[in-house]
Amino acid sequence: MKRIEFVGVAGTGKSSIIRAIQVDPSLCIKYEEMRALLVKRKTKKDSRWYFRVLQNISRERVQNILSRRALTEMEKQFYGGGSPPENLIAHRFPELELSSIKRRGAFLKHFFWLVQAEEAGLESVPLLDEGLLRTVENDANTIRGLSESLLGLVHVDAEPATLRESLLGRMRKKNKKGPKNLPSLPGSEAVDVLSNALDKVRRKANLVDHLGVPVLTVNYHQEPGRAFEQVEEFISSVACKPFDIKADCNP
């Protein structure tokens, strides 16, 4: 399951980077764009005559109904088909212990779409914001079980104090990401909490790096423009030959 993942504590700027960067669509596809594309393909493949008629109606409500119907059928086939999700996971990640998945719902959400991409023959490499790695235990064997088909990892880091200010600003705008008790914590205690969270992600990124998977660490809050440039260059280099992560893309 070839992919490039982004990891980082909530508020470090992962989503902002993904939204802002420009990627070659022949090489990569952003997660939300991939989902929309796969649902659209599923809808177009439906041979029922009334689906054919409805597809020619451009109204947003009609298209949303078609999309929800296609998604429901995709999920029914995935969860209620001949092979349960656990068997599919074991087939694609034979070294991964299922007990090491600590956020099963989040894991299955990403896994579901990666399976759809594989079965649809999608050639572009998916870019996952908080992908599979974020849902599993932070140990070497588990990371090894998921890293074989990982083309690259973008680790978005931050300084704890800067991250605290960013999260508090988002919370004032009703964005609930981050520790729920952050506003009530004294400044030094909040910084310690965020520092521990950042260190956990850094350890995970180091484990991936030690396995030979390309890893890029950027600090969005320090230099947003520079982070965008670095990520675009990194993605182009690791996704240029998606079937050989050690290939040299710049002969």
pLDDT in tens, 102-161: 998 889 888 888 888 888 888 899 999 988 999 998 889 999 999 878 999 999 999 999
Q: Looking at residue 250, what is its pLDDT?
A: 44
Ordered by where they begin, the domains of the chain are 3-239 (3.40.50)
Please identify which residue in the block is written with the tokens 């429901």. 72
DSSP string, 66-133: HHHHHHHHHHHHHHHSSS-HHHHHHHH-TT--GGGBS-HHHHHHHHHHHHHHHHTT--SEEEEET-GG
Cα–Cα distances in angstroms (integers) from residue 104 to residues 10, 75, 111, in the given order:
19, 16, 10
Residues whose CB is less than 8 angstroms from the CB of residue 150 and which lie 6 or more positions away in sequence, other chains included: 3, 4, 5, 133, 208, 213, 245
CA 190, CA 179: separation in Å to the nearest integer?
9
Q: Looking at residue 30, what is its pLDDT?
A: 93
165 close to 18: Cβ distance less than 8 angstroms: no
Q: Looking at residue 66, what is its pLDDT?
A: 52
Give the bridge partners for 126, in sequence order. Answer: 29
Average pLDDT, the chain: 82
Q: Which of 9, 249, 250, 3 is nearest to 149 (CA)?
A: 3
Q: Which residues of 209-242 are buried (b: 16+ CB within 10 A; e: fewer)?
A: bebebbbbbbbbbeeeeebbebbbebbebbbbeb
Q: Which of 110, 141, 140 is nearest to 1 (CA)?
A: 110
Which pTM does this prediction carry?
0.82
97 close to 89: Cβ distance less than 8 angstroms: no
